[in-house]
Amino acid sequence: MLVKVLPYLNNRYFLTGLGFLIWISFFDRNDFITTWTYSKKLKTVQKEKLHYEEGIKLHKAQLQDLHSSKENLEKYAREQYNLKKENEDVFLIVEK
């Protein structure tokens, strides 16, 4: 096995290429580990972006619904902020 590899180790082009590949793979600023880490971060950020875009769509739809009619606005205010009219009692039932 060593006899087959020995001629390649004497070839300066092979050694230069091997050194270049090792340098690019491990010691360069854009080595494999850094590239892999950036790829993982990119996937995570893209998932977060998708999550926030879905939330924006939902909130835009809710906002449009609130602007469409006064009844929807009143319903939202009563449900979310526990608002009430004058001379009206509101009983909140809290489930445990």
- pTM, 2 dp: 0.57
Q: What is the pLDDT of residue 2?
A: 63
Q: Buried b vs exposed e over 20-47: b needs ≥16 C-beta within 10 Å?
A: eeeeeeeeeeeeeeeeeeeeeeeeeeee
2-27 pLDDT, tens digit per residue, is: 677 777 778 889 889 989 988 888 88
**The pLDDT value given to residue 44:** 98
Instruction: Give tens-digit pLDDT for 28-81.
Output: 888 888 889 999 999 999 999 999 999 999 999 999 999 999 998 988 888 888
Better-predicted residue by pLDDT, 86 or 55: 55
* Gap between the Cα atoms of 96 and 79, Å rounded: 19
How far are the Cα atoms of 36, 68, 73, 83 from residue 80, in angstroms, in the given order?
A: 45, 18, 11, 8
